Structure 1
């Protein structure tokens, strides 16, 4: 059964690459469980005080992939790799925005309860990890991909 779904995913990715938007609609139910597993894995590594939800991360990644330039899918592993990168980028952007708010870049009044939700806990680590991965990519792109595949 898994091979049938795997083959169907590959065929739908090929159709989507050729511009068939309906293929994307058929693809999402087949890949949703794997995307959810990936998102849960990301969320487990995040600070417990963040306000981002697993479903929200999946949907944001879906929008990023659906609207993105990447359409020449080599295989399902390529698709899931791009989805994983999209999730990481979304969380890094989210962490950066939290840090920005914490430093007062938005200059809006908030309550003490709201300030607790904007905690820097964890977001600094996410940004530092992203910066380190970018530096590694400059030195050795393949090693960077290995790290991304291992941990993301």
Structure 2
């Protein structure tokens, strides 16, 4: 699909925010590829053997996004920024729910499974989330810039 005109996408987002149900039908094919790109970027930083797939992350984030009935989307950067933040939250929640190394050691697993069991990147993601949360206490704007540039793939202007 060709690159979407930012103003056209913003108009679709605003119509959707205003309650136009047909706007959601137009929005889905337009934003899916970009959401997938953001999710792929996140998943590229995850450990090997991660059980959450890129498409599942996109779908989970999209379901949560469309459930926000009162969201007022300012523009495409706002939408994709919130999308990136939501994906980060999903991955952090997923990492926190994984058993710790000690708990994993108590479970029976095959040798093949044991070779891919690691929680280092999960711990890194949780630590990064905590660091961004701390930065946000001092300077929320800088924390959002780091998050959107690093995870969302947005440039400085966006």
TM-score with structure 2 setting the length: 0.82
State how far apart, in whole Å, the 2-side matches of 1:69 and 1:82 are.
14
Q: Give the corresponding residue for 2:134.
A: 135
Greater helix share, 1 or 2?
1
Q: Deviations over 1:41-71 (max 9, x none)?
A: 1111111121110100100010111112651
The answer as to 2:33 corresponding to 1:36 is no
- In structure 2, C-alpha distance between the alignment counterparts of 1:116 and 1:93, rounded to whole Å: 24
Number of matched residues? 147
Match of 1:51 in 2: 51
CA distance in 1, matches of 2:79, 2:51: 27
Equivalent in the alignment of 2:109: 112
Unaligned runs of 5+ in 2: 152-158
Secondary structure in 1 matching 2:41: helix
Deviation at 1:84, TM superposition (A): 0.5
Q: Which has the higher contact order (CA 8 A, sep 6+)?
A: 2
- 1:130 & 1:99 partners in 2: Cα distance? 18
Q: Answer yes or no: is the 8 Å Cα contact 1:13–1:27 preserved in 2.
A: yes
Alpha-carbon distance, 1:116 to partner: 6.1
Preserved CA contact (<8 Å) 1:98 1:118: no
Take 1:128 and 1:90, find their aligned partners in 2: how far apart are those partners?
15
- Give the structure 1 partner of residue 156 of structure 2: none
Is residue 35–residue 58 contact of structure 2 (8 Å, CA) maintained in 1? yes
Is the Cα–Cα contact under 8 Å of residues 96 and 126 in structure 2 kept in the other structure? yes
2:7 is matched with 7
Determine the structure 1 residue equivalent to 2:82.
82
Q: Secondary structure, in 3 states, of the residue corresponding to 2:133?
A: helix
- Is the alpha carbon distance of 1:15 and 1:37 closer, same or farther for their aligned partners in structure 2, counting shifts above 3 Å? same
Give me the TM-score of the superposition, normalised by structure 1.
0.85
